[in-house]
């Protein structure tokens, strides 16, 4: 049983807040690679940034996501990912860049649970910061890109609507009990 659960969606959907709440509840979670790459690149004045070189940014995220996949302990307990490899393909499609064959291969080799949680854009919590520079319209387009890309790679999407963080955690855990029924 693959218990690697992806939480995806566009910016300002509440993904990181949800993952943080799951972590506080004792679940193992992998942080979003995009924010980490942006922070690292800004610290060294690098060019693997979405506004400088989308292809290099994607390569850096891919390396980080593969490393996270290997480092994660595989167990019967769910492991939550704040975005994952298919998000990179969605990002490249969104910005009009080709998806390299090595990314296609990685997405097909490093598999997660077939059922993926997707969060829609949430205008009430939308904000920009140093790492999140997308406009609201770009946030919506990013969500749409993820809705399109995940099924192409054989994943099923489950929509988790906006709600209080505790309601979202409860709904997510209820859904996990349905989509990963063999975990006790």
Q: pLDDT of 141-164, one tens digit each?
A: 999 999 999 999 999 999 999 999
Quick: pLDDT tens for 23-81. 999 999 999 999 899 999 999 999 999 999 999 999 999 999 999 999 886 666 789 99
pLDDT score of 73 = 66
List of E strands, the chain: 4-9, 28-30, 79-82, 115-119, 156-159
pLDDT of residue 119 exceeding 70, the answer is yes
Domains and CATH numbers, the chain: 4-179 (3.40.50.300)
pLDDT score of 1 = 61
pLDDT score of 11 = 87
Q: Using CA of residue 64, residue 18, residue 89, residue 101, what is the dihedral sign?
A: positive
Q: Using CA of residue 65, residue 74, residue 182, residue 175, what is the dihedral sign?
A: negative
CA pair distance 113, 180, nearest whole angstrom: 9
pLDDT score of 183 = 46
Do 78 and 27 contact (CB within 8 A), yes or no?
yes
Quick: pLDDT tens for 87-109. 999 999 999 999 999 999 999 99
User: How far out from the chain centre does Cα 10 lie?
Assistant: 9
pTM exceeds 0.85: yes
């Amino acid at each position: 049983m693959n218990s690697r659960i992806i939480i995806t969606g566009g910016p300002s959907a509440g993904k990181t807040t949800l993952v943080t709440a799951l972590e506080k509840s004792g679940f193992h979670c992998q942080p979003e690679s995009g924010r980490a790459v942006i922070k690292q690149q800004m610290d060294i004045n690098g060019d693997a940034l979405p506004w400088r070189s989308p292809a290099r940014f994607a390569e850096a995220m891919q390396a980080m996501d593969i490393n996270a996949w290997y480092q994660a302990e595989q167990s019967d307990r769910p492991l939550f990912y704040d975005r994952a490899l298919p998000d990179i393909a969605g990002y490249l499609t969104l910005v009009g860049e080709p998806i390299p064959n090595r990314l296609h291969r990685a997405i097909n080799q490093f598999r997660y649970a077939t059922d993926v949680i997707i969060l829609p854009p949430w205008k009430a919590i939308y904000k920009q910061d140093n790492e999140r520079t997308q406009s609201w319209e770009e946030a919506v387009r990013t969500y749409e890109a993820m809705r399109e890309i995940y099924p192409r790679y054989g994943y099923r999407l489950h929509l988790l609507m906006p709600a209080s963080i505790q309601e979202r955690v409860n709904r997510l855990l209820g859904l996990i009990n349905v989509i990963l029924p063999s975990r006790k």
